Amino acid sequence: MKWYLGIADIHAGSSHGPIPPEYLAPEMRMSDKPAQWADSVVDVFNEGRRAARDFWGELDTLAARLPEIDAAFVLSDNIEGRQAKSGGEGLIHNNSQSQVKIAVRILDHILKGAGYPPVYGVRGTGYHVTENGGRECDDEVYDQTKNMQAYDDVLFVEAGGLVWRLDHNIGRSGTPYGKSTPLSKVQIFNTLKSSIDEEHEANVCLHGHVHYCVSSGFPMSNKIGYTLPALKMRGESYGRKFNDFYDAGMMLFRQEDDGEPVVPVPLRIETGHSLPPLHKLGE
């Protein structure tokens, strides 16, 4: 039996990404009460810290439970970037060099739990992982990742008698928060491109970017595609709009024998999902 691990959308540096304990400030306490508003601000900050600590704790638990992994696939958005459009207020570090360090630390923590398997990666969304002037932060992350085998914009890997196609991006869909049609398109185009030697014919197509997990495939042809869940928790406007379709965690794939189709095993992280209040007229 073989095991494969898919990791996507870590967004290191975001206050909603995994934050290693040494990067998380301790809780603030106010001894006297200078003003009620100050207390409430501290409460909000502390609540954020507790959520981040819980998120890391859950990731830590998953990493410790991982089986021995045969190959790990990193689908990028490894760092958050500077959030230039929104002013960077959702960041714990706005320096991309620091974010690269944090991403390397997070990946190492997971990969250690996986037994340091061979790692393959792709580059992510330019807005997150590059800087003006073209500096490729993903490359810096991968160059410091233990047992890194290869990375590219789109990468083809042969493992377990299957060809894996890794690509951060995925096309637009007419279905809100669904990617079944774009995933099918990738597989059809891949089949066409393989007939003119532009691509290797792929059995498993993995994508990141959307922060929710869907699949679509052609079982009789041993072809399947997935968008992977993210390692960034729900909580800001980007996550909020996905509501129940937002998935935090990683994806394990189990394979009985070489050449056999893989079976997905979701590694879910709960991200503070709660029932909203029901406002009743007259109360």
Q: Tokens 């410091």: give the residue.
A: 144
Residue 260 Cα to chain centre, angstroms? 26
CB of 124 to Fe ion, least distance (A): 5
CB of 10 to Fe ion, least distance (A): 9
CB of 9 to Fe ion, least distance (A): 4
CA torsion 17-239-186-71 (nearest 10°) is 30
Count of positions on this chain that bind Fe ion (CB under 5 A): 4
Nearer to Fe ion, 125 or 181 (CB): 125
Binds Fe ion by CB under 5 A, chosen from 6, 9, 157, 165: 9
Binds Fe ion by CB under 5 A, chosen from 58, 70, 77, 80: 77
Residues in the chain: 283
Q: Tokens 């997905």: give the residue.
A: 264
Residue nearest to Fe ion according to CB distances in the complex: 125
Amino acid identity for residue 202 in this structure: A
Q: Kindly indicate which of the ranges 31-39, 71-79, 188-196, 213-221 contains the residues binding Fe ion, using the contact rule CB under 5 A.
A: 71-79
Q: Kindly indicate which of the ranges 112-120, 158-166, 201-209, 243-251 contains the residues binding Fe ion, using the contact rule CB under 5 A.
A: 201-209
Q: Is the distance from CB of 229 to CB of 248 less than 8 angstroms?
A: yes
Which among 154, 157, 214, 212 has a CA at the least distance from the CA of 184? 214
Q: Map residue 108 onto helix, strand or coil.
A: helix
By CB under 5 A, the residues from 107 to 146 that bind Fe ion are: 125
CB of 230 to Fe ion, least distance (A): 6
Q: Kindly indicate which of the ranges 40-48, 52-60, 209-217, 235-243 contains the residues binding Fe ion, using the contact rule CB under 5 A.
A: 209-217
Nearer to Fe ion, 93 or 209 (CB): 209
Q: Map residue 174 onto helix, strand or coil.
A: coil
| Beta-strand relationship, 154-159 and 223-227 | unpaired
CB of 77 to Fe ion, least distance (A): 4
Residue 218's CB is within 10 A of a number of other CB atoms, namely: 13
CB of 211 to Fe ion, least distance (A): 6
Contact flag: residue 209 with Fe ion (CB under 5 A): yes
Nearer to Fe ion, 78 or 216 (CB): 78
- Helices (DSSP H) in the chain: which residue ranges? 36-65, 96-113, 126-129, 137-143, 180-195, 237-240
What does the binding site for Fe ion look like in residue numbers (CB under 5 A)? 9, 77, 125, 209
